[in-house]
């Protein structure tokens, strides 16, 4: 214990491993204790389903057709992934915009203060207006994610573009680079991997906005399902859905990290 707060501590492999699973174990144990307590009081309890009930809920969602004849987990995942993917695609456009703002004073004057202000608007509270402008269908759900995350990413790209040493830009100019080449051949490739990280860290915000959008008006989607089955306290479906979403998000995060390591090995060297 006396080594615990030493900066030069060297925990053994076993200790590292044990410590890193400790909170997972505690969380699961607390859940199981709570669940079994509630089931002793009331065998039909739906609020904290047992593991076997959740497995059954997962099986029904993934492999059995529901009353509308759908394998809903896959249908929901596909619909949500599509919305999510399109939104993230649009958010990538924030990178060239941010670079433009960071390098061209006119572009900066045009967008910067507006985006700083826009970034502070809690997009969720404007949903009724979003619905009026974009309707209740796919567009409004994608727009909600984009509005929530785009300004953050654009402003981050702006800051990173500005932090590129001026000498580099002067040097490029003396070598005869055009203004566009400076922005999009010299500055943007340098900050791009960092921007991937920014987008990665914003995945959760995007997911929250997706769920919020789907909870308000939808016929399909992971967030939609969670809000509908809530009507009959089907936690045996909700908890596996939440774990599934967490897993998907974790994988996306991991994938982006892998891309950064793999393609941008020069980063931070």
Q: Please report, as ranges, the residues that interact with another protein according to CB under 8 A.
A: 1-2, 26, 29-30, 33-34, 37, 42-47, 56, 60, 66-68, 127-128, 131-132, 135-136, 215-219, 224, 227-228, 230-234, 237
* Cβ neighbour number for residue 252 with a 10 Å cutoff: 19
The interaxial angle of helices 203-216 and 222-229, nearest 10 deg, is 50
Task: Pick the closer one to another protein by CB: 45 or 156.
Answer: 45
The C-alpha atoms of residue 146 and residue 150 are separated, in whole angstroms, by 5
Closest CA to 151 of 190, 106, 209: 209
* Cβ neighbour number for residue 132 with a 10 Å cutoff: 10
Residue pair 189/201 in contact (Cβ under 8 Å)? The answer is no
The C-alpha atoms of residue 200 and residue 259 are separated, in whole angstroms, by 11
CB of 175 to another protein, least distance (A): 55
CB of 148 to another protein, least distance (A): 17
Phi, psi of 233 (to 5 degrees): 50, 45
The C-alpha atoms of residue 228 and residue 250 are separated, in whole angstroms, by 25
Task: Pick the closer one to another protein by CB: 7 or 44.
Answer: 44
Q: The tokens of 208 are what? A: 């929250």
Task: Pick the closer one to another protein by CB: 38 or 162.
Answer: 38
CB of 64 to another protein, least distance (A): 9
Q: How far apart are the first and last CA of the chain?
A: 35
CB of 255 to another protein, least distance (A): 31
CB of 231 to another protein, least distance (A): 4
Q: The tokens of 99 are what? A: 């670079």
CB of 232 to another protein, least distance (A): 5
């Amino acid at each position: 214990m006396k080594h615990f707060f030493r900066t030069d501590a060297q925990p053994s492999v076993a200790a590292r491993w044990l410590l890193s699973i400790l909170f997972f174990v505690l969380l699961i144990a607390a859940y199981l204790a709570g669940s079994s307590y509630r089931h002793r009081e009331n065998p039909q309890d739906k609020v904290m389903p047992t593991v076997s009930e959740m497995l059954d809920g997962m099986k029904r969602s993934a492999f059995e057709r529901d009353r509308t004849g759908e394998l809903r987990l896959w249908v929901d995942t596909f619909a949500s992934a599509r919305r999510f993917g399109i939104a993230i695609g649009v958010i990538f456009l924030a990178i060239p915009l941010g670079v433009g703002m960071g390098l061209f004073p006119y572009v900066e004057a045009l967008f910067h203060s507006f985006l700083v202000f826009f970034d502070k608007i809690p997009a969720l509270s404007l949903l009724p207006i979003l619905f009026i402008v974009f309707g209740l269908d796919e567009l409004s759900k994608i727009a909600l994610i984009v509005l929530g995350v785009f300004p953050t990413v654009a402003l981050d790209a702006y800051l990173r573009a500005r932090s590129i040493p001026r000498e580099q830009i002067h040097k490029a100019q003396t070598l005869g680079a055009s203004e566009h080449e400076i922005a999009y051949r010299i500055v943007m490739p340098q900050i791009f991997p960092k921007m991937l990280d920014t987008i990665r860290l914003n995945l959760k915000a995007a997911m929250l906005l997706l769920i919020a959008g789907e909870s308000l008006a939808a016929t399909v989607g992971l967030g939609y399902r969670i809000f509908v089955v809530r009507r009959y306290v089907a936690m045996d479906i909700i908890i596996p859905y939440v774990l599934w979403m967490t897993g998907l998000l974790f994988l996306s995060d991991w994938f982006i990290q892998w891309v950064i390591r793999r393609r941008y090995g020069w980063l931070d060297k």
